[in-house]
């Protein structure tokens, strides 16, 4: 279906391009947000990505899917934005939770686990967050992630492995301090 829309858009059909935007904008936003951890930054990147797609659509040769091409543009724009703003070592600020109702210990323990995991994932380097977002969040395989990011499949596997190890280590360390 994308192929027909792309061909129409390449011929100047703006409605066809609008349909591509509508179809892929939510996934592109989720990917950008996982890397940037900021709503307005993610929205800006997605808008810039679609502008880039629109201006370069004539050169799109359909050697990959539109989605793969778009995700690669989104990823590159995210990395550019992080570099420009010197956010390579960006850490997510501590989350605070205020609950105005009584919650049982089991409920609080589950909420704390989710917050811990969210904080740990947010503290990972952007390249690790991105492969996690694409692999687990968007359900892409290793080969698809590699094509989207323009990196070898082995690098994707390595980043996934490193991210998993870091998450496990940091969650365990956090539990030790809580005891």
pLDDT value at residue 74: 95
The tokens describing 130, both together, are: 């991105």
Q: How far apart are CA 34 and CA 52, in angstroms?
A: 20
The contacts found for 144-149 with CB under 8 angstroms, 24 or more apart, are 144/68, 147/64, 147/68, 147/72, 148/68, 148/71, 148/72, 148/75, 149/72, 149/75
Who wins on pLDDT, 91 or 37? 37
Q: Note the pTM of the prediction, 2 decimals.
A: 0.61
User: Is the CA virtual torsion 24, 25, 31, 34 positive or negative?
Assistant: negative
pLDDT value at residue 116: 65
Q: What is the mean pLDDT of the chain?
A: 80
Span 62-88, pLDDT tens digits: 888 999 999 999 999 998 888 776 433
Sequence spans of domains, the chain: 1-88, 98-179
Ramachandran quadrant class, 83 (left: phi over 0; alpha: psi -120 to 50; beta: rest)? alpha
Under DSSP, is residue 93 helix (H, G, I), strand (E, B) or coil? coil
CATH number of 98-179, picked from 3.40.50.720, 1.10.10.10, 1.10.1040.10, 3.30.420.40 = 1.10.10.10
From the list 29, 73, 28, 32, the residue with the least C-alpha distance to 52 is 73
Span 112-138, pLDDT tens digits: 555 567 778 888 898 998 898 888 877
The tokens describing 129, both together, are: 């967050």
Write down the CATH number for the domain with range 1-88. 1.10.1740.10
**Which runs of consecutive H residues, i.e. helices, occur in the chain?**
2-10, 14-36, 39-56, 66-84, 105-123, 126-132, 142-149, 153-178
């Amino acid at each position: 279906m994308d192929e027909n829309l792309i061909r129409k858009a390449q011929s100047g059909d703006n409605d066809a391009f609008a349909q591509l935007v509508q179809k892929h904008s939510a996934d592109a936003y989720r990917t950008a947000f996982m890397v940037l951890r900021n709503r307005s930054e993610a929205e800006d990147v997605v808008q810039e990505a679609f502008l880039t797609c629109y201006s370069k659509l004539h050169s799109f040769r359909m050697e990959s899917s539109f989605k793969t091409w778009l995700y690669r543009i989104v990823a590159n724009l995210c990395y550019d934005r992080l570099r420009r703003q010197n956010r390579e070592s960006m850490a997510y600020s501590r989350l605070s939770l205020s609950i105005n109702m009584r919650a049982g210990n089991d409920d609080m323990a589950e909420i704390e686990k989710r917050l811990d995991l969210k904080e740990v994932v947010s503290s990972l380097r952007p390249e690790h967050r991105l492969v996690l977002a694409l692999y687990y969040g968007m359900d892409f395989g290793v080969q698809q992630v590699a094509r989207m990011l323009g990196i070898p499949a082995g690098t994707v596997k390595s980043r996934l492995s490193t991210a998993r190890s870091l998450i496990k280590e940091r969650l365990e360390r956090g539990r030790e301090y809580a005891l």
